[in-house]
Amino acid sequence: MLKREDIRNVAIIAHVDHGKTTLVDQMLKQSGTFRDNQTVGERVMDSGDLERERGITILSKNTAINYNGIKINIVDTPGHADFGGEVERILKMVNGVVLLVDAFEGPMPQTRFVLQNALDLDLPVIVCINKIDRPDQRTKEVVDEVFELFMELGASDEQLDFPIIYASAKNGFAYLDEPKNNMSDLFETIIKFIPAPESNINSLQLLISALDYNDYVGRIGVGKIENGEINLNDEVFITNMHSQETPKSLRISKLYVFDGLNKKEVTHAKFGDIVAVAGIENIKIGDTICSKDNIVPLEFSKISEPTISMNFSVNDSPFAGQEGKFVTSRHLRDRLLKELNTNVSLRVEETDSADVFKVSGRGELHLAVLIETMRREGYEFQVSKPEVLFKKINNELCEPIELVTIDVPEDFSGTIISKLGIRKGEMLAFDALRENFVRLKFLVPSRGLIGYRNEFIKDTRGNGVINNIFHGYEKYKGEIVSRNYGSLVAFETGVAVAYGLFNAQERGELFIKPGDKVYTGMVVGKNSRLGDIEVNVCKKKQLTNMRASGSDEALILTPAIILTLEQALDFINDDELIELTPKNFRIRKKILDAKQRSRKK
C-alpha cells in the first residue's frame, strides 16, 4: 500500500448560505495563495454573474493551497438542494469533508442531505461551527443538534468522534479550543484528521467526477487519480461501470492540476492528485480512465433523477426576433445539448414538434438559472409552466415529495399550516426556537410548492425562511388547486398609456407601465379574482371640445409590479408561457386570439 503524505483532498459541504465560499476565500488568503499586493474580491470562488448576484454557489469549484509543504485540494460545493447532483459526485474526489453549520440556524435540510452522502461514503467529517460572531449565535445548542443529526443518520463510533472547529469565516478566524485571530487550527486539523491518499495498485485508475467545458479543447474531465500515475501523451482506455460499451483507446493531449484558482498544465501526475484531462471526446461523469494493463472501471453511483420539467420552445410571439441574437430551433437545440456537457442533473428530450424541447431538472431554481443564463447569452425563446415528473411504482401513480423546513415567527404559523394543508402538506414537527420563532417541518408534494414561495414571503411579511429538499416518491396525493386568481390579458397590440392602465388597475395588479409595448394575448397583470379578463391598456382618452389641457394629470397610477423570473414561473398557469429575450421577459397566453381561446375551453 502506497501513501502520499504531501497531499490532502477535502470538500467543504453545508446548507445554502452557511458560509462555505467565504471560508474558502479566507483559506486561500491565509495560505499565501495570493500575492501581498494582489487585490482580491469577496467570494472569489463564485465566479459566475448569477452566483454573485444570488449569493449562491451553482457549480462546484476546485482550488488548491499549500500549507507547510502539504498541498490541500479543496472543493467548494453548492448548498442549494436544486444543485445536489453536484454534491453527490464531488464527494467521490475527496478523502474527507468539512461540514459547515451556521451558529444560529443549526443543521438545516441540506445539511442532512450532504452529511448523509458523506457518511454513506464513510468519509471522516470535521465539523465547523461558523458565524460564531453573530449576536444571536447559539453555539452550544447547535453542537448538540449536530451530534443528534449524526446519531440520527446512523454514524459509526469513529464518525461520531469528530473534531469541532469554531469559526467566523467573515472575520478570518477558526480555532479548536483557544480563540485565535487566524485559521491555523483549521489547516492543522485538516492535515491531521483527513487521511492522506492511498493506492494499492500501480496501474492507472482515474474516476471522472466533474466536467468543465472550453471552446478550444472541448469537454474537460475532472477527477481524482485513485491508483497509479498518468503522463501526457499516454495511451489509456476509457470505461464506465454503468455502460455496456467496449472500452475505447485514446491519448491524453492535455493534463492539468489545480494551483490556487487556476489550472496549471503538467506532464505528469500520480495517485491522490485531482487533475483535469482534455482531448477526450464525449467524456462523461462516472467514466474511469485506465492503463491498458488493468481496464477495470471504478464504482460510481448514478446521478439522482430530475423531479420537475418544462418545455423550452422557439419564440413565436408578435415580437419574436426583435431583441434576441439566437432565435431559431437549431440555436435552441444546440445550446441545450451543450448544457448537458457540464450540467449532469439536466435532461433534454426532443418532442413531436421540432420547435419544442422538454427540459427536466432538480427544481425550479435549477431550471431558472439555466433560463437566465441563456437569456443573458442572447437567446430568445419561450418556456411553459413547470410540471412535476410522475412515476409508476408497483402499478401505482406516485409523485415527488419534498421535505420542507420553515423558520417563522410563531404569529404566522397558523397561516403557514393552513396554506400548506391546502397544498396536501403533512406536518411532521412544530418546534419552538428562541425569540418567538418556531420551526415547522412538512412533507409536501413538489407540485404543491410550485408558486408557493412568493405567497410565503407575503404571508410572513418577509420574516420567514423556507427550505426544501427532495424526500422521495409517494402515492399521488390528489388534486391541488393551482391558483385562486386569473390574469389580465391585453386586448390589442400597441403601446400602454396612462389612461388605459388607470382603467385596468381597478381589475387587479399590473405588471406593465406607460410606454411598454404590448400585443394581443399578452398578460399585463394579475386579476384579483378567478378567471381571465381582457383589458385595453392602449386605450386613449377621447378628445372633446370641453377637455381641459391638464385633465390627464389627475390620473394616479399604482406602481407596476416588476416580477422576477422565479416569480413569473410561479405565476403562470397551464395555458400561459413566458417569452424570454435578452432585454425583457413577458407572460403571454399560449393561444393569443381571444375567440380561439374561448373555443378551446
Determine the pLDDT at residue 522: 95
The band of 59, judged by pLDDT with boundaries at 50, 70 and 90, is very low
pLDDT surpasses 90 at 209? no
- Provide the mean pLDDT of the chain: 84
Pairing mode, if any, of strands 381-384 and 396-409? unpaired
Tell me the C-alpha distance between 118 and 106, whole Å. 18
Q: What is the pTM of this model?
A: 0.73
391-475: CATH topology is Alpha-Beta Plaits (3.30.70)
Q: Does the pLDDT value for residue 382 go beyond 90?
A: yes
- Contact, 271 vs 197, CB < 8 A? yes
DSSP state of 328: S
pLDDT of residue 542: 67
Q: Are 43 and 22 in contact (CB under 8 A)?
A: yes
Give the integer Cα–Cα distance in Å for 576 and 310: 12
Q: In the chain, what percentage of residues exceed pLDDT 70?
A: 88
Q: Indicate the pairing of strand 235-240 with strand 287-290.
A: antiparallel
**How many percent of the chain have pLDDT more than 90?**
36
Query: Quick check: 202 pLDDT over 80?
Result: yes
Per residue in 313-322, pLDDT (tens digit) is 999 999 999 9
Query: Given a cut of 70, is residue 545 above it in pLDDT?
Result: no
Q: What are phi and psi of 189, to 5 degrees?
A: -65, -40
Residue range 199-290, CATH number: 2.40.30.10
Give yes or no for a contact between 521 and 577, defined as CB atoms under 8 angstroms apart: no
Among 255, 257, 238, 235, residue whose Cα is nearest residue 93: 257
Q: 413-422 and 452-459 helices cross at what angle (nearest 10)? A: 160
Please compute the mean of the pLDDT values over residues 192-203 and round it to a whole number: 89
The answer to whether the CB of 312 falls within 8 A of the CB of 367 is no
Query: In degrees rounded to 5, what are phi and psi of residue 311?
Result: -95, 130
User: Bigger pLDDT: 528 or 53?
Assistant: 528
pLDDT at 235: 86
Asked if residue 590 has pLDDT above 90, the reply is: yes
Q: How many CB atoms lie within 10 A of CB 536?
A: 17
Q: Report the half-sphere exposure of 127 (CA within 13 A, side-chain side).
A: 24
Query: For residue 523, with 0-12 CB atoms within 10 Å meaning exposed, 13-18 middle and 19 or more buried, which class applies?
Result: buried
Asked if the model's pLDDT at residue 58 lies above 50, the reply is no
**Cβ neighbours of residue 541 closer than 8 Å, sequence gap 6 or more:** 499, 547, 551, 552
What nine digits make up the cell of 560?
A: 407596476
Alpha helices, DSSP H, located in 377-509: 413-422, 446-449, 452-459, 498-504
> How close are the terminal C-alpha atoms of the chain, in Å?
71
User: Is the pLDDT confidence value at 547 over 60?
Assistant: no
**Helical packing angle, 184-193 and 20-30, nearest 10°:** 100
What does the domain layout of the chain look like in residue ranges? 2-196, 199-290, 391-475, 486-600
Give the pLDDT of residue 543. 60
Q: What is the mean pLDDT of residues 428-438?
A: 82
pLDDT for position 544: 57
Does residue 432 register a pLDDT over 90? no
pLDDT at 147 over 90: yes
Q: pLDDT at position 35, please?
A: 40
CATH superfamily of 486-600: bipa protein (2.40.50.250)
- Which tens digit of pLDDT belongs to each residue from 95-142? 999 999 999 888 876 787 788 778 888 899 999 999 999 888 889 999
Residue type, 423: R
- For the stretch 572-587, pLDDT in tens is 988 999 999 999 889 9
| Contact indicator for 444, 404 with CB cutoff of 8 Å | yes
Instruction: Pick one of 2.60.110.10, 3.30.70.2740, 3.50.50.60, 3.40.50.300 as the CATH number of 2-196.
Output: 3.40.50.300
Residue 299: the pLDDT is 81
Q: Check residue 302 and give its pLDDT.
A: 64
Q: Which residues does residue 248 pair with via DSSP β-bridges, in sequence order?
A: 238
Angstrom distance (rounded) from CA 91 to CA 483? 40
Please report, for residues 356, 486, 521, 601, the alpha-carbon distance to residue 596 in angstroms, rounded to integers and kept in the order given.
21, 18, 11, 9
